[in-house]
Structure 1
């Protein structure tokens, strides 16, 4: 069952965290709280009053709103049109009063300190701006209880700080938040209370200040927490051909980038959004072409700007956004996990379903993908299992180089541990690994971390760095010299 006697109490004006592994029941609870599902048993109240009937959508909007990880803003409409969709002012003859609608939008955005022009096309907004617009839209209905579902998954450190400042400001104005995140450090930065769900049940509710990180992870997993990034013996084979060689690479988002990834070595590219780390990684795998410089994968130079050429040279790739770049939602696990290896599935362009399923079943077993079978559409999986399918595709052809961009974004703690463990196993086979991320847990297992700032590599540090030093370098400050030893 999706929920089993689960409960949560959220007090007015607080920011309350809801955490748990994928499948713990968080999404189902959100669907119940927002009126998309009715509970089989139990009660739901707002300010001590019973929840509205499921069919009374206006009453629900006046009580609660959810800002989802996948934006519900319509990109082809303006900000003002999104704010008052189906609620625009009307003039004579029932024609929309666009001037009045813009004026209402300006008043609303100003009231909640959202610095976006009403006439801006929503598709031109940043992720951060879209979130603020969605929050303003929810508040315009009268709701003072906002659910934030993985709000920081696509934000850099500076944008996260701005979001947290806005949350605190809104709290001071009487807005209550339910904050759902897999990034446990954020819980301690912004939340007052935390509730843990596991296996569809309530496990614990506690003031954040009274629950240690170890206790929090143990409550989520049901076992003693595993510390990510423990001591690791490097698998670097200095005598083998380098898995990746980048020389004097320059493009629109980066300049003069030179580094190597040895066979069996794990190298991190750290940096905030806009640092150029993602663009460098995408250039390596052919998603974009550099203006100058060269990329060699396992000793060969693939054609710039060609993903098939990079794959043929020996690269495997986990992209930044699994929803739009990583998999085809309606296709099966079997099809998605073998997309990069059509030559292994049959001859002359024909695919053998038997071969495909055998390969997929091997991947399902190795990556512990929770599914009744390989024919299940990837869209039916949890976020952690979807990411495992993307990883399966990246590993399907036994790559010489594995490139990962934000590989654990939006996945639960246990899936994160598993995926990073699989990265280490892959490196132990002699595969070089490049991880482009601003997630410290992703970077802990790296033999070396290259920090990028404003398009250039500014710092290189080996294992054993301190969090505050690496974060300082990502924000443009200098790491302590002790980390260069």
Structure 2
């Protein structure tokens, strides 16, 4: 694609123009000479699979990271100096999926946080105080200016999700920003909230405010945006008018997988599960309000089931419900006909459910403890008589797991913080396998690991099934899902498509993004 052209004589300068942006984190190239141009009053979509570089570009455009090469201009002027926070706030703001308002403060307090405007003490003693009457009046004026119908005295925690977003947008505009980045803004909204948000965005566009819209839901790109830019593998792939780009072509640009291409490696070597055999894991009418609709699942011995979905699809909530971290609103979970107590992690473990969490640092490891201690957390009751834990048994058990999973470590006593990311993840897997579970539930099991470790970890999951048990992989990473015998694609809390092991990247991504067809 040719580089973006300078605006014609008399035409307004782009709200933002980024050219040749390079950003490295150590040996990793997060952005490789990418570009982006957003015109005033435009809603411009930025899409791409995980790892495409979207989040890194946002951090560069908002001044959180300094680019290693390239140029960013706002309204035709060079971006502020790195570290000049107030100058960056006057150019651009980002409204994230997770609201950044302070829940216990009022709308007015949030709008002018750290900018309340202090008056001299009336007594003349030199003190300073906040004029709450004036603060409320300023808030009313600002909200009215941008058509936000919210009471300034309402506490932020009492607002609807889209109203909190309106407050964040109004705050950004009050600093002078004319470019608002929306990062997955609809992830926590229902249909009414999405309609309300989009109506407000269109109103602001008519006032010249530009939006960079980042979403996994491609249908929303077609509803709101006039242009779309695609990144893939840290590079710019295309920029095009939305009206001129078919959905199939957009998915192809994101995946690099044309409609006629053959599938990459899948779990073709695995023996198809015997449907006459009783399932290992069963759910009946399982649901969680606001996350996923009633779902019936059956996972049989020898089967790896994939639950694929992007942000807000409900697949993560489903996985956490299966392992007892969340309590279902309705329905039943059973392992080999034994009903699992809802919302109980200990009972899930006892029933035979092993769990590989999504965030190994937050949920999977005690970083200042040893490999042995981490690997045996779920079997401490088996490491000594009368509730004691014998160090010799702990080390013996850990050595067997180290050998089985080929964990690269100096020994069971090494602190887990000293391991590579891939080997840390293997310790998490060791803990999950320690109780010989009947079903292994893995949330994005290869996140943040190298290719060799990824193959090894997925091989372990595959082996659990091949040895007669079952596994469930919850992920939006295509490589994770290739090991599955069957994949269910979720979108907004419901299953929208089911695939055997021969799916292509293009058709699975289309289903996860809400533009595919059931099959």
Counterpart pick for 1:315 among 313, 334, 353: 353
The residue that corresponds to 2:66 in the other structure is: 38
Counterpart pick for 1:196 among 208, 224, 230: 230
Q: Contact (CA 8 Å) 2:281, 2:300: kept in 1 or not?
A: yes
Instruction: Provide the C-alpha distance between the structure 1 equivalents of 2:88 and 2:182, rounded to a whole number of angstroms.
Output: 16
Q: Contact (CA 8 Å) 1:67, 1:146: kept in 2 or not?
A: yes
Counterpart pick for 1:47 among 67, 75, 88: 75
Q: Contact (CA 8 Å) 1:340, 1:393: kept in 2 or not?
A: no
SS at match of 1:9: strand
Judged with a 3 Å threshold, the aligned counterparts in structure 2 of structure 1 residues 183 and 400 are, in CA distance, closer, same or farther, namely: farther
The residue that corresponds to 1:478 in the other structure is: none
Is the aligned partner of 1:240 residue 2:288? no
Instruction: Provide the C-alpha distance between the structure 2 equivalents of 1:389 and 1:152, rounded to a whole number of angstroms.
Output: 35
Is the aligned partner of 1:63 residue 2:97? no
Judged with a 3 Å threshold, the aligned counterparts in structure 2 of structure 1 residues 51 and 72 are, in CA distance, closer, same or farther, namely: same
Instruction: Provide the C-alpha distance between the structure 2 equivalents of 1:180 and 1:306, rounded to a whole number of angstroms.
Output: 36
The residue that corresponds to 1:165 in the other structure is: 199
Q: Normalized per residue, which structure has more strand?
A: 2
Counterpart pick for 2:110 among 82, 85, 88: 82
Q: Contact (CA 8 Å) 1:332, 1:377: kept in 2 or not?
A: no
SS at match of 1:206: strand
Q: Contact (CA 8 Å) 2:53, 2:235: kept in 1 or not?
A: yes
Map 1:19-34 → 2, pairs under 5 A: 19-34=47-62
SS at match of 2:334: strand
Is the aligned partner of 1:103 residue 2:141? no
Judged with a 3 Å threshold, the aligned counterparts in structure 2 of structure 1 residues 101 and 191 are, in CA distance, closer, same or farther, namely: same
Instruction: Provide the C-alpha distance between the structure 2 equivalents of 1:155 and 1:114, rounded to a whole number of angstroms.
Output: 17
Counterpart pick for 1:297 among 314, 317, 335: 335
Q: CA deviation at 1:49?
A: 1.6
CA displacement, residues 45-79 of structure 1 (integer Å, 9 cap, x when unaligned):
11112222334322221111112334332334333
Is the aligned partner of 1:400 residue 2:438? yes
Judged with a 3 Å threshold, the aligned counterparts in structure 2 of structure 1 residues 35 and 275 are, in CA distance, closer, same or farther, namely: closer
Counterpart pick for 2:177 among 136, 140, 143: 143
SS at match of 2:69: coil
Instruction: Provide the C-alpha distance between the structure 1 equivalents of 2:37 and 2:438, rounded to a whole number of angstroms.
Output: 50
The residue that corresponds to 1:368 in the other structure is: none
Q: CA deviation at 1:353?
A: 11
The residue that corresponds to 1:286 in the other structure is: 324
Q: CA deviation at 1:138?
A: 0.9
Instruction: Provide the C-alpha distance between the structure 2 equivalents of 1:24 and 1:115, rounded to a whole number of angstroms.
Output: 37
Q: Contact (CA 8 Å) 2:179, 2:209: kept in 1 or not?
A: yes
CA displacement, residues 293-348 of structure 1 (integer Å, 9 cap, x when unaligned):
864322334455420220231224577x8699855797899899958755599772
Judged with a 3 Å threshold, the aligned counterparts in structure 2 of structure 1 residues 291 and 166 are, in CA distance, closer, same or farther, namely: closer
Map 1:287-436 → 2, pairs under 5 A: 287=325, 295-317=333-355, 341=378, 348=389, 352=395, 355=398, 362=405, 375=417, 396=433, 399-401=437-439
Judged with a 3 Å threshold, the aligned counterparts in structure 2 of structure 1 residues 226 and 11 are, in CA distance, closer, same or farther, namely: farther
Q: Contact (CA 8 Å) 1:268, 1:435: kept in 2 or not?
A: yes
Aligned residues: 450
Instruction: Provide the C-alpha distance between the structure 2 equivalents of 1:126 and 1:303, rounded to a whole number of angstroms.
Output: 33
The residue that corresponds to 1:5 in the other structure is: 33
Instruction: Provide the C-alpha distance between the structure 2 equivalents of 1:160 and 1:390, rounded to a whole number of angstroms.
Output: 41
Instruction: Provide the C-alpha distance between the structure 1 equivalents of 2:102 and 2:137, rounded to a whole number of angstroms.
Output: 20
Unaligned runs of 5+ in 2: 1-23, 26-30, 122-127, 409-415, 501-506
TM (norm. structure 1) is 0.66
SS at match of 1:138: helix
Q: CA deviation at 1:434?
A: 7.1
SS at match of 1:53: coil
Judged with a 3 Å threshold, the aligned counterparts in structure 2 of structure 1 residues 190 and 430 are, in CA distance, closer, same or farther, namely: farther
Q: Contact (CA 8 Å) 1:234, 1:447: kept in 2 or not?
A: no
Instruction: Provide the C-alpha distance between the structure 1 equivalents of 2:232 and 2:306, rounded to a whole number of angstroms.
Output: 32
SS at match of 2:197: helix
Instruction: Provide the C-alpha distance between the structure 1 equivalents of 2:156 and 2:426, rounded to a whole number of angstroms.
Output: 31
CA displacement, residues 434-456 of structure 1 (integer Å, 9 cap, x when unaligned):
79999xxx99x9979899999xx
The residue that corresponds to 2:221 in the other structure is: 187
Q: Which structure is larger by alpha-carbon Rg, 1 or 2?
A: 2
| Stretch moving more, 184-193 or 394-403 | 394-403
Judged with a 3 Å threshold, the aligned counterparts in structure 2 of structure 1 residues 137 and 306 are, in CA distance, closer, same or farther, namely: same
